[in-house]
Structure 1
Amino acid sequence: MHALTLLSLILLSLLAGCTSYIPSTVLPAPSPAQPYVKLVTIPLPVIASSPNEGVTWGALTAFLLHNDKDEVSALFAPQVNQNENFGTTGTLYGAMYPSPLRSIEFNISKSTQVNSDYEIRVRDQSLMDRQLELNAFLYNFTDGSARFFGFGSGSSVDNETNFADRELGYTVSAGYPLATNTMLYLGDRLRKVEIDEGAVKMLPNTQQYFAQADVPGLDGFSTHAQSVSLVYSTLDAQAMASSGIRARATIEGSLAALGSSARFGRYEAEVKGFFPIPDSRFISAGRVAVGQTRGSSLPFLERSILGGENTLRGYGRNRFIDNSYVLLNLEERIRLFRWEVFDVKADWELAPFVDIGGVGDTVGDLRGRDIEVNPGIGFRAVVRPNILGRIDVGFSKDGPAVFVGLGYPF
């Protein structure tokens, strides 16, 4: 289904929404002083698409709670979906923003075939008089749509295989300011991976197809890694910035003595920036990133990976895998109009973009033939300061790819 058709369905479904004012004695208010809670209820069709998962359709109802500033402070969205690979899926997604310095997101999802997802993400910047930032992400999921094509920029679509990626783990980090706009982060992550039979029966099974190849991690692996990051940021918002820059340098190490299947080191650097015109009608956004992972018997899912809704949008997830990568994302976020329906203010954006990147054994090995160029167009509905839905259509040598989801790509 075309992106414009999807956008039209969303616009039409908003007309079926309604606004209620519920006493805070019945429904706890986001702000203690609120005598009532403004609750906007919007039924929506679910029409999602990605190269790996295919088309998913169904329905959800979004419940938006507002605080005393008339901002969306919480979102709850139960939904039921249907997909030819995963069968019927029931999901409950929630996002709560008690204050600009705190956020909680969770997702509970179970399919009749293979897929499941249980996760919670917490961020708190209010500790120690706003001197300490804590981030935590806990997850347990099975993705039956995962792909593997082989290693390197020359991996062929003819070698596309499918597997189920079963993962359990956490990622935690603590940040402390070193100077104005500069933070030091210490992180720890645990990741346990099992590889099983996937849900896409039309593709070969990865473990069988690559049985004779040297693919470390194909029988599962564990990673326990620690990281140090230095971040400089002048962004005007953490999640949905419209101006400023953010630069990050990260070093991560994984040791067998601490429970990892393989010893390796990872080095990454990223700079992204947002440059608006005075009324923010146009925002030029860009990101450049480079990374390298070195180690022996390095699991294939711990290497540098490009492809998917947040990197090369002309390809599905896991399309290119090797030890190093470079990536450049450029897009122009153009606000077409601002529309208020049932007291919900939404900005509707058009975003032409181009994604450029490639993988190789080392960054120095990359040549022009290794670089992929994916132009595309995005459509976004933005409810500031916290919620964004998007449709991105990217084009590559494998054909077009359509992604429907939440949040900016970077």
Structure 2
Amino acid sequence: MTRNVFRTIAVSATIVLGCLSCVSSLAQEIQVPSTGDTASGIIDAEKAKAKSLSPVAPSHGEEEFDRYEEKILDPLTNPNSLTFKAGGLPTGGGFSLGPRYIRRDWLHEHLISDSYLVGSTKKWYKGQSTLDFVGLMDNHLQLTAAGAYQNAASMPYYGEGSNSSKDNRSDFRREFTSAHFGGQFHFLDQKLSAGYSVGGLLVNVGPGDQGGWPSTDKIFNEANTPGLEKQSNFITGTASITANLTTPSFSNPKGLILEAQDTQFWDRSGNNSSFHLLQTQATYYVPFINGMRTLAFRARNETTFHADGQQVPFYLQPTLGGPNDLRGYERYRYYGNGSSLLSGEYKWSVAGSVEMALFGDGGNVYSRAGLIGLRELRGDGGFGVRFKNKQQEIMRFDVGFSPEGVKVWFVFNNAFGRLYRSF
């Protein structure tokens, strides 16, 4: 037993002596600053060392993608010369293409001029010219003047209400000539915007040009389709407010966007068609797993109000159906004096510029504001692919399924885009 005790003491002493030897060697290698060295001297030495470090060079793949983005994607998404425009027609016009001239560098980049003319094989046309004065008052004010003409030769119409029948499918020609001027103020680092615009809208409605479809005036009449025979011209005024509370993430923004627009239509043709349209929308993005996955939700409502003795022309009623709302139904499937919509998407990135999505939509139309709710709800589901530049969707391909069949969409816009009117 005594021999074991001495053996343990000898081993312990050997370990202690070895540790002391290592500490001594380490102390000789470390240069401890003397009392004459100051903290500022040490900081200066560290700064000099940092300057001598070379930045990490980007990988070959990153360099190729940056070159591709600069030469191809940027000229497509942010052109600054004579170019072409794909899209621009109201949904249903088919693939459209035409010349576009845009300048972003006038008045020291405070004036953006954008003009285009597009047409499609369905004989739909649109021309528009816009002047945007941006960055005024230290980026707090934007002024816009715009004029446009559009001719939609075959707008679908099934009748008013959520119970309209597909057997009553018809079409009509809708011509809008519009002009407006407005201003928008930006606050809180562009997160809050409010504005007002005034303008005019000239309307012409006539027989449709879709082969195989009866013209709307052959199935419906003025009694059940207000505005079909008595067309009106309007003075318009639109108040709008937007709160963008999002922050950038990997593939989609993170946070909430709130929007509201109220447009007053004053009928100048004596057809008792004065009314106003209130539009509201909330969009919420929830990225997770380092931004590679996103849950997106949207709630939108459009309601018209009119005084006794007035009416809402059918060609200005809110609609549902198509690639931007009920994606499992035909374009403009449902017309009504009001509409409600709920949508959700689960999106995941499969590449830097490609995103997959699963979606579901639900909505309905109603005849007056007091009937808003979930009655006669129409729903759909489906999947899609988005092609993106950073957080901006350039193109998307969606397939929607509903009790009325399967719909396939290939469009050049964001499914959860901002509030939009077609005039």
TM-score by length of 2: 0.69
Q: Distance in 1 between matches of 2:93 and 2:264?
A: 36
Matches of 1:79 and 1:409, distance apart in 2: 17
- 5+ residue gaps, structure 1, are 1-18, 22-36, 41-62, 339-346
User: Aligned partners of 1:221, 1:316: CA distance in 2, in Å?
Assistant: 27
Match of 1:399 among 392, 402, 405: 405
Q: CA separation in 1, counterparts of 2:112 and 2:102? A: 7
2:219 to 199, 209, 227: 209
Deviations 1:87-130 (A, max 9, x none): 99762356776699986654422457632221245555412110
Q: Which amino acid aligns with 1:357?
A: G
Q: Is the 8 A contact 2:114 2:131 kept in 1?
A: yes
Residues 274-319 of structure 1: CA deviation (Å, up to 9, x unaligned): 2212632112222111221022221112222112221211223321
Hey, what does 2:328 align to over in structure 1? 314
Q: Which amino acid aligns with 1:152?
A: G
Per mean C-alpha deviation after superposition, the further-off stretch among 144-153 and 186-195 is: 186-195
Task: Confirm or deny: 8 A CA contact 1:65 1:73 kept in the other structure.
Answer: yes
Q: Of the candidates 184, 187, 199, which is equivalent to residue 175 of structure 1? A: 184
In the TM superposition, what whole-angstrom CA distance separates every residue of 1:150-198 from its partner, at most 9, and x where no partner exists? 1111011111101122111135442214666332211224222211222
Matched, 1:92 2:99: yes
Moved more, 151-160 or 202-211: 202-211
Q: Is 1:374 paired with 2:380? A: yes
Are residues 129 and 377 of structure 1, via their aligned partners in 2, closer, same or farther at CA, if it must alter by over 3 Å?
same
Q: 1:266 aligned to 2:272?
A: no
Match of 1:10 in 2: none
> 1:232 aligned to 219, 231, 243, which one?
243
Match of residue 44 from structure 1: none
| Residue type at the aligned position of 2:415 | P
One-letter code aligned to 2:154 = S
Residue 358 of structure 1: CA displacement?
0.6
Write the mapping of 1:2-401 to structure 2, written as runs, cut at 5 A.
39-40=71-72, 65=75, 73=79, 76-77=83-84, 91-92=98-99, 106-110=115-119, 114-121=123-130, 125-177=134-186, 181-211=191-221, 213-219=223-229, 220-236=231-247, 242-256=253-267, 262-277=273-288, 279-295=290-306, 296-338=310-352, 347-366=353-372, 368-384=374-390, 388-401=394-407
Contact 1:224 1:259 in 2 (8 A): no
CA RMSD of aligned residues (A): 3.7
Which residue pairs with 1:4 in the alignment? none
Counterpart-to-counterpart distance in 1, 2:112 and 2:410? 23
**Distance verdict in 2 for CA 1:402–1:223, change over 3 Å:** farther
* Alpha-carbon distance in 2 for matches of 1:88, 1:127: 36
Q: Matches of 1:389 and 1:89 in 2, distance apart?
A: 14
Change (3 A) 1:38 1:381: closer
Do 1:325 and 1:363's aligned partners in 2 also have CA atoms closer than 8 Å?
no
Q: How far apart, CA to CA, are the structure 1 residues paired with 2:94 and 2:258? A: 42
**Distance (Å, rounded) in 1 between the aligned partners of 2:362 and 2:245:** 25
Over 3 Å counting, the alpha-carbon distance change for 1:228 and 1:145 in structure 2 is same
CA distance in 2, matches of 1:111, 1:353: 29
Q: Name the one with the larger strand percent.
A: 1
Distance 1:337 1:86 in 2: 31
CA contact (8 A) 1:357 1:372 kept: yes
1:149–1:319 Cα contact (<8 Å) kept: yes
CA distance in 1, matches of 2:115, 2:361: 29
Residues 274, 111 of structure 1: CA spacing in aligned structure 2 closer, same or farther, 3 A cutoff? closer
The structural deviation recorded for 1:137 is: 4.6
> Residues of 2 paired with 1:405 and 1:216: CA distance?
31
Aligned to 1:27: none
Instruction: Mark the runs of 5 or more structure 2 residues left unpaired by the alignment.
Output: 1-65, 417-423
Q: What is the rounded CA distance, in whole Å, between the counterparts of 1:79 and 1:363 in structure 2?
A: 37
Tell me the amino acid that sits aligned with residue 324 of structure 1: G
Larger C-alpha radius of gyration, 1 or 2?
2
Normalized per residue, which structure has more helix? 2
Counterpart-to-counterpart distance in 1, 2:282 and 2:144: 20
How far apart in 1 are the matches of 2:86 and 2:323? 21
| CA positional deviation for 1:379 | 0.9
Aligned partner of 1:182: which letter? L
CA contact (8 A) 1:305 1:320 kept: yes
What percentage of aligned pairs have identical amino acids?
Answer: 22
Indicate if the aligned counterparts of 1:254 and 1:260 stay in contact, CA closer than 8 A: no
Q: Would you say the 8 A contact 1:235–1:241 is kept in 2?
A: no
What corresponds to 1:16 in structure 2?
none
Q: Secondary structure at the match of 1:92?
A: strand
1:217 maps to a residue whose letter is G
Structure 1 residues 279, 175: CA separation in 2 closer, same or farther (over 3 Å shift)? Answer: same
User: Amino acid of the residue matched to residue 390 of structure 1?
Assistant: R
Q: Could you tell me how far apart the structure 2 residues matched to 1:283 and 1:381 are?
A: 15
SS at 1:284 equivalent: strand
1:294 and 1:252 mapped to 2: Cα distance? 10
Once the two structures are TM-superposed, the CA of residue 230 in structure 1 deviates from its matched residue by 2.7
Relative to structure 1, the CA distance from residue 167 to residue 251 in structure 2 (aligned partners, 3 Å threshold; closer, same or farther) is closer
SS at match of 1:370: coil
